[in-house]
Structures are given as structure tokens and as C-alpha cells.
């Protein structure tokens, strides 16, 4: 009995001890796991901080290695993904950066910085719609991220929303008034929405901190030129050229500004210098040609228009101007060819139709001339001179009633145009209306006095 009791007691104690031992293992394991996690967390923190320091020193290879280790130790480390994304962006791996920013957003959905940086990376890849969405999300989470306003402004400007861009750049400047780059971007957006005076003010602000920046003087000169401040534009462009004597665009723009002021000689001088620096600027050849035409150097103008068209075979205005000179010199065949080209590349050019009509009429093609005059007035219903020429062509072809209507139309639009009264007066004589003819001819004579 004692043996049995002793054995039972021993067995009970044995199993009780085993159970106690078994219960103690999970608790110990949990404690060890927690300790391991704490160690991983500390290592992850250390690698993360090391990665930040290396990023500051632009040691991107080392930083990438440290952020990788931080993530290995702590796979849910949102900020490590965020900063690894920054490093990947800096090293040109935009797609890898986007993947990291997306992971950071999954782990920390309210990270405005992650949305901002992903927007920046998407913008770099040209995915502007997605960039706009990310910048907007960043600003909804934190309305004081000036860089997000600037980034969204740039995306808006790149997609044609320059007015929206101006608003965003303005907000960015309010948050960071010392950010010269944003002033520069806003000035460009203001130029796009034709607020030239405001753009000039932004360029003036930039020049306070960058007084020797030729490009800023050039851009302010452009803004002033567009706002008809020719004197200010010329001064700015002269300064740009002083700072950079080989600034082709500055010579070109100063030449155009001089051309607009009827200084054809000065325009030719500047544009010639621009062409010495950049002979592939079709617009420069065009303006030099037109300046030469202004000085009646027609052969020189023809040569420059031809060069313009070598560089840009679709330059409608160059065809038109060359045709005008060719017609003036009596080369109607060449003029007709160039007017047709001008119309091909600008089908809404009423002047081209009108002048081709004149050339066709002189070449004996009255039907073609009538068709061209009609096209001109369909495009520009208030184009009085086209009605006048169509009236003459109709009269010459025997359509006296049609001619009478056209001359009357001209007089209604321009009651001081004497030749229309004279033509209508002679037409009325043919139509046996002597009283009406006398009245019109008298009016024509009075307007010539």
C-alpha cells in the first residue's frame, strides 16, 4: 500500500513537473522572440540613421545598402521604404522609387511625404495625371508642403493648365518666399497666360539675388517685348548679351524687337549675328528676310525666305511673303505656286486666297480668281477689299448684278472707300442708271479731294 502510494505520488509529481516544464517553454520562447524583435528594431534604427547620413553626404550606394538592411530587419519600416525611394530617385531608378513610395504609403497611408515623393517620381516618368493625383493627396494630408504646390504647378503647366499652375506656384511662394526656382516657374506660367507685366516683376525679383544671370535678363526682355515695352526689352537684351556675348536667342529677340520698331537695319545686324551662332533657326531667317524686304532688298529677302523654307518646309507665312515679292516682280507662276503652298499649310488665310486670286486674274484665270475671292470673304466676311476685287472680276465676266452687290457691300463696310463708288458708278452707267451713276461718281470724286 505504501509502495503504491509512493509510486502514485512520484508519478503525479513527475507529470506535474513535466507539465510545468512544458508550460514554461512558450513563455520563454515569447520572451526570446520579443527580445529578438527589440534587437532587430534597434539594428533597423541604426541602419536607417546611417542611411540618412549617407544620403546627406550623397553616398547613395552606401545609403541604399543601409536602407536595405533596415528593411531586412524590419519589413514594415515605412520611413525606410520612403528614404530608399529617395535614394533610388537620385540614382535614376524612378520605377524602383515608385515601388518603394507605394509600399511606404501602404504602411503609412497618411504619409504626405510619401505621396509627394511618388508624385515627383511619376512626374519624372511623364505620368503627369498620376503625379497630379499624388501631389493633391499630399496637400490634402499636409497643406503646408510648399514643394508639393511647386510640383503640382509644374505638372499643371506641363499639361496646359498654366492658370492653375500660377495659383500653385503662388501658394508655394507664400510658404517659401525665398525659393527663387518657384519664382522662375511662376514667371514662365505667367508668360503662358499672357500676364507679361507680372512675369516681368517675377524676373525682377529673381535678379535681386541673381544679378548676373543672362537667361533671366533674356526672359524679362521677352516679357517686356510682349507687353510693348520696347525700350525695357532692348535694355534687358543688351544686358543679356553683355553677360553672354554668344547668346544667340538674345540677339534674335533683340533683332525681332528692333524689327517691330521699324529699325530694319538694326534688326538685320542682330539677326545676322544670331544666325552666325545658330544657322538652323528658321524664324531668324524669316525675320531677316522680312527686314530686308522692308529695306527693298527683295533679292536678299527671297534668298532668306528660301533658306527659311529649307529649314521648315511648312512655314506658311514664308511662302506667302515670298509669293508677294514674286508677284511684285512679275513672276506670276512662282507666286501662284507659293500662294498655293501658303494655303496648303494655312487654309484659313484669307489674304493668301485674295492675293492668289489677283495673281490668277492677272494670269487670265478669272474663274479661279473668283473662287479665291469667294474663299477669302467666306473666311473673313468683313474683308472689304476682297469683295471689291470680286466685284471687278464679276463685272469683267459680265455678271453686272453680282458686281453691283459686291460694290454695295464694300461701301456698306467702308463708306469712305472712293474706288468702290467709282466702280459702282461706272457699272451703273452700263446698267442704264445715269442718275445713280452720277451720284456715285460725284461721291468718289469728293473722297479724292
Concatenating the DSSP letter of every residue in 127-194 gives -HHHHHHHHHHHHHH-TT-HHHHHHHHHHHHHTT-HHHHHHHHHHHHHH-TT-HHHHHHHHHHHHHTT
In the predicted structure, residue 24 carries a pLDDT above the cut 70: no
Task: Say how many C-beta atoms besides its own lie within 10 A of residue 427's C-beta.
Answer: 23
Nearest alpha-carbon partner for 374 in 344, 354, 358: 354
Do 388 and 449 fall within a single domain?
yes
In the predicted structure, residue 3 carries a pLDDT above the cut 60: no
For residue 295, give the DSSP letter.
Answer: T
Which residues contact residue 111 at a Cβ distance below 8 angstroms, ignoring those fewer than 6 apart? 78, 82, 104, 105, 141
In a domain, 442, yes or no: yes
For residue 315, give the DSSP letter.
Answer: -
Cα 53 to Cα 47: distance, rounded to the nearest angstrom: 10
Do 448 and 388 fall within a single domain?
yes
In the predicted structure, residue 1 carries a pLDDT above the cut 80: no
Do 377 and 417 fall within a single domain?
no
Do 396 and 443 fall within a single domain?
yes
In a domain, 189, yes or no: no
In a domain, 191, yes or no: no
Do 318 and 354 fall within a single domain?
yes
Enter the C-alpha cell of residue 37.
524583435
In a domain, 362, yes or no: yes
- Position with higher pLDDT, 35 vs 328: 328
> Mean pLDDT over all residues of the chain?
92
What 3-state DSSP class applies to 225?
helix
Do 364 and 405 fall within a single domain?
no
Q: Structural domain of residue 332, as residue ranges?
A: 314-381
Among 381, 404, 425, the domain-final residue is 381
**To 10 degrees, what angle do helices 112-124 and 94-107 make?**
160
- Cα angle, residue 408 at apex, residues 406 and 413 outer, rounded to 5°: 95
Do 328 and 343 fall within a single domain?
yes
Do 400 and 441 fall within a single domain?
yes
Residue range 294-334, pLDDT digits in tens: 999 999 999 999 999 999 999 999 999 999 999 999 999 99
Which residues contact residue 223 at a Cβ distance below 8 angstroms, ignoring those fewer than 6 apart? 187, 190, 191, 196, 197, 199, 200, 203
Do 414 and 442 fall within a single domain?
yes
In the predicted structure, residue 25 carries a pLDDT above the cut 80: no
In the predicted structure, residue 368 carries a pLDDT above the cut 50: yes
In a domain, 118, yes or no: no
Do 321 and 374 fall within a single domain?
yes
Mean pLDDT check: name the lowest of 33-37, 376-380, 435-439: 33-37
Among 363, 381, 399, the domain-final residue is 381
In a domain, 411, yes or no: yes
Cα 340 from chain centroid (whole Å) = 31
Do 377 and 388 fall within a single domain?
no
- Cα angle, residue 339 at apex, residues 330 and 295 outer, rounded to 5°: 60
Question: What pLDDT does 23 receive?
Answer: 47
Enter the C-alpha cell of residue 69.
538592411
Cα–Cα distances (Å) from 232 to 13, 147, 188, 208, in that order, read: 104, 33, 18, 17
Cα 438 to Cα 449: distance, rounded to the nearest angstrom: 17
Question: What pLDDT does 44 receive?
Answer: 85
Nearest alpha-carbon partner for 220 in 195, 203, 244: 203
Instruction: Count the domains in the chain.
Output: 2
Which residue is associated with the grid cell 500660377? 166
Percentage with pLDDT > 70 across the chain: 91
Which residues contact residue 242 at a Cβ distance below 8 angstroms, ignoring those fewer than 6 apart? none
In a domain, 198, yes or no: no
In the predicted structure, residue 264 carries a pLDDT above the cut 70: yes
Among 323, 358, 381, the domain-final residue is 381
Do 370 and 409 fall within a single domain?
no
Cα 389 to Cα 169: distance, rounded to the nearest angstrom: 53
Question: What pLDDT does 43 receive?
Answer: 83
In a domain, 435, yes or no: yes
**Residue 222 confidence class, pLDDT cut points 50, 70, 90:** very high
Concatenating the DSSP letter of every residue in 299-312 gives HHHHHHHHHHHHH-
Q: Note whether 54 and 62 are within 8 A (CB).
A: yes
For residue 327, give the DSSP letter.
Answer: H
CATH number assigned to the domain comprising residue 437: 1.25.40.10
Cα 233 to Cα 240: distance, rounded to the nearest angstrom: 10
Which residue is associated with the grid cell 504619409? 111
HSE-up of residue 277 (Cα within 13 Å, Cβ side): 16
Nearest alpha-carbon partner for 392 in 415, 361, 414, 416: 361
Amino acid at each position: 500500500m505504501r509502495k503504491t502510494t509512493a509510486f502514485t505520488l512520484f508519478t503525479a509529481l513527475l507529470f506535474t513537473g513535466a507539465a510545468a516544464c512544458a508550460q514554461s517553454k512558450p513563455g520563454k520562447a515569447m520572451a526570446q522572440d520579443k527580445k529578438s524583435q527589440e534587437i532587430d528594431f534597434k539594428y533597423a534604427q541604426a541602419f536607417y540613421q546611417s542611411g540618412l547620413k549617407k544620403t546627406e553626404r550623397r553616398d547613395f550606394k552606401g545609403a541604399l545598402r543601409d536602407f536595405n538592411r533596415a528593411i531586412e530587419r524590419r519589413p514594415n519600416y515605412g520611413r525606410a521604404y520612403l528614404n530608399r525611394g529617395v535614394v533610388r530617385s537620385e540614382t535614376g531608378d524612378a520605377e524602383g522609387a515608385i515601388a518603394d513610395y507605394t509600399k511606404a504609403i501602404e504602411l503609412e497611408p497618411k504619409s504626405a511625404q510619401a505621396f509627394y515623393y511618388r508624385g515627383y517620381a511619376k512626374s519624372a516618368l511623364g505620368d503627369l495625371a498620376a503625379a497630379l493625383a499624388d501631389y493633391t493627396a499630399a496637400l490634402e494630408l499636409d497643406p503646408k508642403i510648399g514643394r508639393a504646390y511647386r510640383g503640382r504647378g509644374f505638372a499643371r503647366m506641363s499639361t496646359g493648365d498654366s492658370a492653375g499652375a500660377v495659383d500653385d506656384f503662388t501658394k508655394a511662394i507664400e510658404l517659401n518666399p525665398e525659393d527663387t526656382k518657384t519664382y522662375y516657374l511662376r514667371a514662365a506660367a505667367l508668360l503662358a497666360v499672357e500676364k507679361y507685366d507680372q512675369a516681368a516683376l517675377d524676373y525682377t525679383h529673381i535678379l535681386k539675388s541673381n544679378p548676373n544671370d543672362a537667361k533671366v535678363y533674356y526672359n524679362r526682355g521677352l516679357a517686356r517685348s510682349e507687353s510693348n515695352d520696347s525700350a525695357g526689352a532692348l535694355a534687358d537684351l543688351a544686358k543679356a548679351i553683355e553677360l553672354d556675348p554668344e547668346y544667340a536667342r538674345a540677339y534674335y529677340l533683340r533683332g525681332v524687337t528692333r524689327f517691330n520698331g521699324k529699325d530694319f537695319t538694326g534688326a538685320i545686324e542682330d539677326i545676322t549675328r544670331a544666325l552666325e551662332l545658330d544657322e538652323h533657326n528658321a524664324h531668324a531667317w524669316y525675320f531677316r528676310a522680312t527686314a530686308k524686304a522692308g529695306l527693298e532688298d527683295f533679292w536678299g529677302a527671297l534668298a532668306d525666305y528660301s533658306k527659311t523654307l529649307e529649314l521648315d518646309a511648312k512655314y506658311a507665312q514664308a511662302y506667302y511673303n515670298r509669293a508677294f515679292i514674286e508677284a511684285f516682280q512679275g513672276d506670276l507662276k512662282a507666286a501662284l505656286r507659293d500662294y498655293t503652298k501658303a494655303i496648303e499649310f494655312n487654309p484659313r488665310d484669307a489674304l493668301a486666297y485674295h492675293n492668289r486670286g489677283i495673281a490668277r486674274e492677272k494670269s487670265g484665270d478669272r474663274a479661279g480668281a473668283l473662287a479665291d475671292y469667294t474663299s477669302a470673304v467666306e473666311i473673313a466676311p468683313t474683308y472689304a477689299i476682297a469683295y471689291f476685287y470680286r466685284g471687278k472680276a464679276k463685272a469683267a465676266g459680265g455678271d453686272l448684278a453680282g458686281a453691283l452687290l459686291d460694290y454695295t457691300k464694300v461701301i456698306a463696310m467702308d463708306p469712305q472707300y472712293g474706288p468702290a463708288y467709282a466702280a459702282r458708278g461706272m457699272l451703273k452707267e452700263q446698267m442704264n442708271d445715269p442718275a445713280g451713276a452720277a451720284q456715285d461718281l460725284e461721291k468718289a470724286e469728293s473722297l479724292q479731294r
